Structures are given as C-alpha cells and as structure tokens.
C-alpha cells in the first residue's frame, strides 16, 4: 500500500510551509508575544488569499474540495512555526455552515467566512451538558446560561456554540456583531484570549441553528484538527531539542550521546510517531465516511499525552535556558500544554473510551 502524499497534497504542504515560514521566524513570533498579539493579521490575509481557510469546504460551496487530511497537513505546518492564526476553528466553523447550515444561514454568512474578514471561534466544550439553553421565541431563540473557558479573541466575528433546545442539543452559529453576551476575559500562557460568556435572554435568529447531525459531525473533526496542530508543535520542539543536545558538549562528549538522554529522546520520538499515526488514521476515516468516534478519542488522548511528555522533554533538554521566557523552546512548551487541554485532556478521553467499552461489544469497538 502506498502511504505517500499525492501531488496535490504535497503542493498544499509546500504552500503552507512557505507561508508559515515567512511569518514564523523566532524573532517574528517573539515580537508578537512581546506585543501580546495573539493573531498575526498579515498572515491571516495571506491564508485567505491562497484559499487555505476553506481547503476542506466542498467546491460547490466555494472551497477547494479537499478533506480533513489536507486540512491536517496545513495545521501541522502551522504548529511547526507557532503561527498565530485561528485557522482550525475558522475552517471547521466554515465547513459546519457549508454542510449543516440551512440555506438562509449559508447565504447570509458563508461569503464572509470564506473571505476571512471576520474569523469564527468554537466553544470547544461539547461533552456532558451544554452551558446554554435555547428557548423558542417569535422568529428565533432566546439564549441563557454560561459558556466557560471559551477561546475567543476580540477580533472574532462568529462563535459556534452548543445549546440545549426542547428538541435536544444543537449547534448555533452566533454573529457577534449582533449577539453581545457579557464577557470576562483572561489570557492563557500561550497568549490566547479565553473568556467566560454569560447569556441572559440573548436573542438569535431562527436560521442560526445548524441541523441535528452537526453535533456528532463536529467532535471528530475538532479532535482531528487539534491533534494535527499538536503534532506540528511537538515535531518541531523535539527536532530543536535533538539539535541542541547534539551541539552542546559535556565531559568532551555531545549531551545527546549520554544514555539517559538518548532513551528519553527515543521515548519522546515514539510519542510523536504514535500521534502521527492516530491523527492520520482519524483524518482518513473521516474523509472516507467511516465510523470515527473511537479514533477521535484515541487521537485526542495521544495529543494530550504526547503534549505532556514531549513538551517537558524538549524543555528539559535545554536545561536552564529552556525556562527562559524569551527562548524559543519555551513558547513551544506553552503551546503544547495549551493544546493538550483543548476539548478535554488525556484523562477525559480515557473516561470516554472506558464508558464506550463498557457499553459496547468489545469486538465491535475494536473493529471500528
């Protein structure tokens, strides 16, 4: 079986690498951090102009007609350069509207989403119970409740969020120009803005709600994107750590030649390759229309576990300089830890897998 990338996929990787490298030098990223800038707007415009924002959207809806595998390849390159753009949330929200929005919603917002003029965020807490309730009202819905720990920048124009309706849990696309919940904002260690959003009888139009299958559709794709971005972050962090201990000498020998470091580096490398396999399998299953809930949980678990192991390993290999807030490897560490927690950490994924195993015939679960 041939596992090599196709010509089109290679072209996508080359284009993404070129753009992210242009806007992803260590000096450029450090300057953004020093300015507390969480979004690189010139890079965002380049992504829009080249069509990478809509790479997974069907051609009929104005996209490139590729899939989650290609989007994952782009996100992997973003992770390698720590590019400060909300690519995965915007790409998924756009895809959700294009495939699960009613015609009126697609007609009103899809062109804006495709342009990237107003990026879209996603309230990533989709498990357990929804933080919002949606009550039918004349020509629309009234939203009440709280969305905690939502990654939302002031620049975002849309938010894809979960709410409980009388008919069950549904996804809503909220236009933040017209929907203004109360915000309590803070910053994560990797400079992303995180908000608690409080809704009190906030009106949204009837056509803001996506169709019922959208919720089950969204989670595996979220796991796929987060895992791909994490893969790029960890791959580059480990590469830099390996180069560092190969160049630094102690007792007349490279640090990397000492057995303790070599074994730990091998363990970290295995974690990265496990994540690569899990992420690629998940992307392939999604694109092939195969069951993917189990694969999504495994990939997200591995993204969180590898984030902890590889992130710490790469930083520790740099010794005291790894703790320097201005040194590049520290930014990779911060990003890997933030990515580990999005949409639930390793323990949360294991809990889901355990419940699924308890409720499902083991042979059927393994076959999936």
Domains of the chain by start residue, with CATH? 7-85 (1.10.540.10), 120-208 (2.40.110.10), 214-367 (1.20.140.10)
Determine the angle formed by the axes of helices 7-22 and 68-81, rounding to 10 degrees: 30
The pLDDT score that the predictor gives to residue 366 is 56
Q: Which of 340, 338, 333, 341 is nearest to 312 (CA)?
A: 333
Q: Rounded to an integer, what distance in angstroms lies between the CA atom of residue 48 and that of residue 50?
A: 6
Burial 299-322 (b: 16+ CB within 10 A, else e): bbbbbbbbbebbbbbbbebbeeeb
Please tell me whether the overall predicted TM-score, pTM, comes out greater than 0.95 for this model: no
One pLDDT digit (tens) per residue for the chain, 368 residues: 677 889 999 999 999 999 999 998 889 888 888 887 778 899 999 999 999 999 999 888 888 889 999 999 999 999 999 999 999 999 999 999 999 999 999 999 999 999 999 999 999 777 655 679 999 998 899 999 999 888 888 889 999 999 999 999 999 999 999 988 999 988 887 778 889 999 999 999 999 999 999 999 999 999 999 999 999 999 999 999 999 888 877 777 877 678 888 899 999 999 999 999 999 999 999 999 999 999 999 999 999 999 999 999 999 998 888 888 788 999 999 999 999 988 888 888 888 888 877 877 655 555 55
Q: Rounded to an integer, what distance in angstroms lies between the CA atom of residue 131 and that of residue 327?
A: 38
């Amino acid at each position: 079986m041939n596992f090599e990338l196709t010509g089109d996929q290679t072209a996508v990787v080359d284009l993404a690498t070129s753009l992210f490298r242009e806007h992803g030098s260590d000096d450029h990223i450090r300057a953004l951090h020093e300015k507390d800038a969480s979004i690189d707007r010139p890079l965002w415009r380049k992504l829009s102009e080249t069509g990478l924002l809509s790479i997974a959207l069907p051609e009929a809806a104005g996209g490139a007609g590729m899939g989650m595998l290609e989007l994952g390849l782009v996100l992997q390159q973003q992770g390698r350069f720590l590019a400060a753009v909300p690519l995965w949330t915007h790409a998924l929200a756009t895809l959700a509207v294009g495939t699960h929005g009613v015609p009126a919603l697609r007609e009103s917002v899809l062109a804006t989403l495709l342009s990237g003029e107003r990026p879209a965020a996603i309230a990533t807490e989709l498990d357990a119970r929804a933080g919002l309730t949606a009550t039918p009202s004349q020509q629309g819905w009234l939203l009440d409740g709280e969305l905690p720990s939502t990654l939302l920048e002031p620049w975002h124009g849309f938010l894809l969020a979960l709410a409980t309706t009388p008919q069950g849990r549904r996804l809503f696309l909220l236009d933040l120009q017209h929907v203004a919940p109360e915000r309590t904002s803070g910053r994560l260690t990797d400079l992303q803005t995180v908000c608690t959003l409080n809704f009190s009888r906030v009106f949204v139009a009837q056509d803001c709600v996506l169709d019922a299958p959208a919720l089950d559709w969204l989670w595996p794709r979220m796991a796929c994107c987060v895992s791909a971005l994490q893969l790029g972050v960890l791959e580059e962090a480990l590469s830099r750590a390996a180069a560092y201990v190969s160049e630094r000498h102690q007792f007349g020998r490279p640090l990397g030649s000492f057995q303790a470091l070599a074994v730990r580096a091998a363990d970290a490398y295995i974690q990265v390759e496990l994540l690569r396999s899990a992420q690629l399998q998940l992307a392939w299953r999604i694109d092939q229309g195969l069951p993917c809930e189990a694969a999504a949980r495994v990939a997200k678990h591995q993204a969180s576990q590898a984030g902890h192991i590889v992130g710490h390993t790469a930083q520790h290999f740099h010794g005291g300089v790894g703790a320097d807030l201005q040194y590049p490897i520290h930014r990779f560490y911060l990003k890997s830890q933030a990515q580990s927690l999005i949409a639930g950490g390793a323990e949360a994924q294991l809990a889901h897998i355990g419940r699924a195993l308890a409720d499902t015939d083991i042979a059927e679960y393994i076959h999936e």
